[in-house]
Amino acid sequence: MTRNNESAEDYLEAILMLSQQKGLVRSIDIAHQMNYTKPSVSRAMSLLRERGHIVMDKDGWITLTDTGRAIAERIYERHRLLTQWLTQLGVSPQVAAEDACRLEHDLSDETFQRMKEHIAASKQP
């Protein structure tokens, strides 16, 4: 995984989370959420548009495409599961969320699937 792809995944995840919270998302919302500058977000949105992951209407509202949503949902699922699992292990919520953000990009699909299965099995009585 390249840092470029990680960054794109972080942006897509932020767009998904913001759209779930607010409904409609603009670049300024992403800048505030991620604590990035508006020019950095604008450049990233341009790259995500070129890759076909988002569309932006004439008023600046951002919508995930089907491919962008699929990537965002995959990363967000990983983030939620890893954060929850790390917290259950006794890691503080803030550190768990930060570590999950790093781990979510680097785990193979196979490893993540096995982790999901293991966590689900350990919850059964």
Q: Which two tokens stand for residue 124?
A: 């059964």
- Chain segment 54-91, per-residue pLDDT in tens: 999 999 999 999 999 999 999 999 999 999 999 999 99
Helices (H), 23-65: 27-34, 38-50
How far apart (Å, rounded) are the C-alpha atoms in residues 3 and 11? Answer: 12
- What does the domain layout of the chain look like in residue ranges? 3-70, 76-120
Q: In the chain, what percentage of residues exceed pLDDT 70?
A: 95
Mean pLDDT (the chain, rounded): 92
Q: What is the structure's pLDDT at 122?
A: 81
- The matching CATH number, chosen from 2.60.120, 1.10.60, 1.10.260, 3.30.1910, for 76-120 is 1.10.60
Question: pTM to 2 decimals?
Answer: 0.86
Nearest to 84 by CA among 111, 106, 103, 109: 103
Is pLDDT of 1 > 50?
A: no
- The matching CATH number, chosen from 1.10.10.10, 3.40.190.10, 1.10.1200.10, 3.30.1370.60, for 3-70 is 1.10.10.10
